[in-house]
Structure 1
Amino acid sequence: MNHTEWQSGHALSLLRNGAEFFPALLAEINAARIEIRLETYIFEPDEIGLQIVAALIAAAQRGVKVGVLADGFGAKNFPAELRAQMQSAGVYFLFFRPEISRFSLKRARLRRLHRKLSCFDGRVGFVGGINLLADDDGLGLVPRYDYAVRVQGPVVADIQQTLARQWRYTSWVQLKKQLFHSTIATSVAAAGDSVARLVVRDNGRNRRAIEKSYIAAIDAAKDEIIIANAYFLPGVRLRQALLRAAQRGVNVVLLLQDERDQALLQYASWVYYQKLLSAGVDIFQYKSGFMHAKVAVIDQEWATVGSSNIDPFSLLLAREANLLVRDAAFATELRADIQLHLQQDAVQVLPEHIKTASFALRWLVWLCYGLVRLMLGITGYGGRKYLE
């Protein structure tokens, strides 16, 4: 399947963090009457995860067809007994590429299902970056910073078909007899005025779909580009697009994560800071807690919310899904929220910070960058071509 074309007629609701996303998700699970399809990278059996499990079981028991597809690595800690309980109640549950050996060197092991995508009765869909786990990281940190979108309108049919196609592929590969044939209509009536488009990345015909969407929007930018992305190690094509934009006078702002939960990638990204700053790009680091956002706003009219980071894992390996939006009201709302975090939770990286960095830090940054390139090269995913 190629990514879909732009379609009009959507009603969109921006959801900030788990505080807004989880109640909206649970409301749709409880309201569903025909079918629930849900994909997630992480599914933790914490207080949030257990609420979702209970709601899915209740839905299956009232006759709703429920299918859950969780990544075999991201959700590897999901208890077998809880899965059995769900299946006994009638919930279809599959793992995408189950982790059989943690020490396997097979390339396919790195191709994860990183999407956070769901659809209810073919009527409402969710797209975003929020996993199924509590977003309270404790230790005095604010809740994890992230976004999702609740969408109604024609693109919901694309979400439903994407979910159904992935389920068929996964069950076929695993020789599972968990037949989950949809009875939902594949066309959805208009529900609002927003123009939207679903873009998926996979390892077939859509390998570069999300990256190309970013580059096209960046190249078309006239005034402003704001990107908030937790894991930022762009390839040469996207990086050059950002540099071109800054050099032609576009205000380019990057909000990136400071808390290093994936230190290798995050330190490696610092290699590009000096060149970006020299071109006039403004870089901010999020300081208040863990950032998981993957969003962008361009010229206060184009926006994207999804699961895709701007790093080799998301852009070269994982299955991802982003919603693209052309709507001034939605883009303005998202931009205002990013700006709030820039003002309250972030510190700007200045050229003097690069110049005065210690030798040890500089050495660490280049070491991490070299290791990322080596890992991409070993796995055969084109590290040199992607990064340079």
Structure 2
Amino acid sequence: MSGRWYDGNDFLLLENGEEFYPRVFSRIGEARKEVVVETFILFEDKVGLALHEVLVAAARRGVQVDLTIDGWGSPDLSEQFIASLVEAGVRLHVFDPGPRPFGMRPNMLRRMHRKIVVVDGEIGFIGGINYSADHLADYGPEAKQDYAVEMQGPIVAEVHRFVHANLAAGTRHNPQTRRWWRWRRRARHAPEELPKPGSARAMLVSRDNGAHTTDIERQYRVAIRAARERIVIANAYFFPGYRLIRDLRRAARRGVDVRLILQGTPDMAIVKVGASALYGHLARAGVRIFEYCDRPLHGKVALVDHEWSTVGSSNLDPLSLSLNLEANVLIRDRGFNGYLHERLDHLMRLSCRQVTFEQVEHESGLLNVVRSYIAFHLVRWYPMLTSLLPRHRPRLEAAMAHELAHAGMGHCKERP
């Protein structure tokens, strides 16, 4: 679902869990009719328990609540945690395609990676922040740096339609849920019916394994090719395709100030290994690389020139660009772009180490040259390679209260 711009929207940038969680929980607490949540990770820690509390309270006061989690990203929820959600009336859906022979998930690389909330079809959130305590600064050195946005305006109706389409598609082929799903209906609002509280143009862009396999990457490339002054990309897992790298190099060579903010303190060592193998190709063209060193970077944001921005769940790596189910919002608004640039500039000035061309050249021994050569050709060919992996038809199954007498999350996660 991609391709239409909507005028009249308002966006609020939310940085890290300290800004995101209170805002989301407050909106859910004010819900009158409906709450829909999609998330990759939900942990049973202080953040997950806080979400649990507001969802249960909403369901008990008659709000229709749908919560979709990924079975791979949220594997360890207790029976009590799940049962109390379901018994309160929360419709819990587990995205976990296919059976698990010998306890293994064959399609573990194809994940529901989106992070979306829609409240009453009028307020929306989208970004990269999961529901886990490692998005809060008090978690310690491993706390993540991340971003999301709160949305109001016609774009929310599009996001609302999108999340309901996901629920419908996920249950359509599951006989056990057909009767339960007869309540399907149109989105609560058409885009033209919602107020226009701001001046931002916005588009929802998604990636799936059907009709929208390259939409997010394509929108990045369109914006990069049109850039005239500046490009700033802050992305946690950076190993994009050959064409996107080529577009960044060409932008830098025509005089655009191209800056990448990548992980300097990665949560997984291979993240830095993969990204740094591309540094030479990028630096030689004039791309400026900054490594964020305060803590792990988990953000997926970018801006081009003075109007275009994007915030969402999609990294710039093979998982997000070729395998996962992702969603980003594109924003055309000078005010939002300017504020995002201010926050990213703050990161670069105070919390990043710039990797210079001289450093890259100094470190480019024979081993690094070979590694860079291999990495360069991997990004050139990985779209073809990933297309050979098996695809699945995404399915969801609702967790029913009576089933939980015999199953905790250990069994729930086996539901497709």
TM superposition score normalised by structure 1: 0.91
* Amino acid across the alignment from 1:262: M
- Alignment of 1:327 with 2:333, yes or no, is yes
Local SS of the residue matching 1:240: helix
> For residues 382 and 262 of structure 1, do their structure 2 counterparts lie closer, same or farther at Cα, with a shift above 3 Å needed?
farther
1:91: Cα distance to partner?
0.2
User: Distance in 2 between the 1:268 and 1:361 partners?
Assistant: 14
For residue 91 of structure 1, what is the aligned residue in structure 2?
90
For residue 186 of structure 1, what is the aligned residue in structure 2?
190
Percent identity reads 36
1:235 corresponds, among 229, 241, 248, to 241
Local SS of the residue matching 2:172: helix
User: Distance in 2 between the 1:102 and 1:237 partners?
Assistant: 39
> For residues 84 and 138 of structure 1, do their structure 2 counterparts lie closer, same or farther at Cα, with a shift above 3 Å needed?
same
For residue 362 of structure 1, what is the aligned residue in structure 2?
368
For residue 160 of structure 2, what is the aligned residue in structure 1?
160
- The answer on whether the counterparts of 2:242 and 2:380 sit within 8 Å (CA) in structure 1 is no
Higher relative contact order (CA 8 A, sep 6+): 2
For residue 13 of structure 2, what is the aligned residue in structure 1?
14
For residue 110 of structure 1, what is the aligned residue in structure 2?
109
1:254: Cα distance to partner?
0.3
- The answer on whether the counterparts of 1:265 and 1:372 sit within 8 Å (CA) in structure 2 is no
- The answer on whether the counterparts of 2:240 and 2:379 sit within 8 Å (CA) in structure 1 is no
Aligned residue runs from structure 1 range 8-157, under 5 A: 8-97=7-96, 100-101=100-101, 104=104, 106=106, 108-134=107-133, 135-136=135-136, 140-141=140-141, 143-157=143-157
For residue 344 of structure 1, what is the aligned residue in structure 2?
350
User: Distance in 2 between the 1:312 and 1:366 partners?
Assistant: 17
User: Distance in 2 between the 1:24 and 1:365 partners?
Assistant: 44
For residue 302 of structure 1, what is the aligned residue in structure 2?
308
User: Distance in 2 between the 1:44 and 1:334 partners?
Assistant: 29
User: Distance in 1 between the 2:119 and 2:45 partners?
Assistant: 23
1:110: Cα distance to partner?
1.9
For residue 217 of structure 1, what is the aligned residue in structure 2?
223
For residue 286 of structure 1, what is the aligned residue in structure 2?
292
User: Distance in 2 between the 1:290 and 1:282 partners?
Assistant: 20
User: Over aligned residue pairs, what C-alpha RMSD do you find?
Assistant: 2.7
User: Distance in 2 between the 1:244 and 1:206 partners?
Assistant: 26
* Amino acid across the alignment from 1:357: E
For residue 398 of structure 2, what is the aligned residue in structure 1?
none
For structure 2, the residue ranges without an aligned partner over 5 or more in a row are 390-416
> For residues 372 and 80 of structure 1, do their structure 2 counterparts lie closer, same or farther at Cα, with a shift above 3 Å needed?
farther
Deviations 1:265-324 (A, max 9, x none): 431222211111010000000100011010011112110011000001000011111110
> For residues 233 and 54 of structure 1, do their structure 2 counterparts lie closer, same or farther at Cα, with a shift above 3 Å needed?
same
User: Distance in 2 between the 1:260 and 1:372 partners?
Assistant: 21
Local SS of the residue matching 1:44: coil
1:85: Cα distance to partner?
1.3
Deviations 1:146-169 (A, max 9, x none): 110100111111111111111112
> For residues 340 and 364 of structure 1, do their structure 2 counterparts lie closer, same or farther at Cα, with a shift above 3 Å needed?
farther
> For residues 378 and 223 of structure 1, do their structure 2 counterparts lie closer, same or farther at Cα, with a shift above 3 Å needed?
closer
Local SS of the residue matching 1:109: coil
Aligned residue runs from structure 1 range 264-275, under 5 A: 264-275=270-281
User: Distance in 2 between the 1:24 and 1:100 partners?
Assistant: 37
> For residues 193 and 275 of structure 1, do their structure 2 counterparts lie closer, same or farther at Cα, with a shift above 3 Å needed?
same
> For residues 230 and 148 of structure 1, do their structure 2 counterparts lie closer, same or farther at Cα, with a shift above 3 Å needed?
same
* Amino acid across the alignment from 1:31: E
- The answer on whether the counterparts of 2:260 and 2:287 sit within 8 Å (CA) in structure 1 is yes
1:80: Cα distance to partner?
3.0
Local SS of the residue matching 2:136: coil
Aligned residue runs from structure 1 range 308-319, under 5 A: 308-319=314-325
* Amino acid across the alignment from 1:344: L
- The answer on whether the counterparts of 1:8 and 1:193 sit within 8 Å (CA) in structure 2 is yes
User: Distance in 2 between the 1:375 and 1:104 partners?
Assistant: 28
User: Distance in 1 between the 2:380 and 2:357 partners?
Assistant: 28
- The answer on whether the counterparts of 1:284 and 1:346 sit within 8 Å (CA) in structure 2 is yes
* Amino acid across the alignment from 1:76: P
> For residues 252 and 377 of structure 1, do their structure 2 counterparts lie closer, same or farther at Cα, with a shift above 3 Å needed?
closer
User: Distance in 1 between the 2:360 and 2:62 partners?
Assistant: 59
User: Distance in 1 between the 2:130 and 2:343 partners?
Assistant: 20
Local SS of the residue matching 1:110: coil
> For residues 381 and 373 of structure 1, do their structure 2 counterparts lie closer, same or farther at Cα, with a shift above 3 Å needed?
farther
> For residues 115 and 105 of structure 1, do their structure 2 counterparts lie closer, same or farther at Cα, with a shift above 3 Å needed?
closer
1:43: Cα distance to partner?
0.3
For structure 1, the residue ranges without an aligned partner over 5 or more in a row are 384-388
- The answer on whether the counterparts of 1:67 and 1:91 sit within 8 Å (CA) in structure 2 is yes
User: Distance in 1 between the 2:385 and 2:61 partners?
Assistant: 46
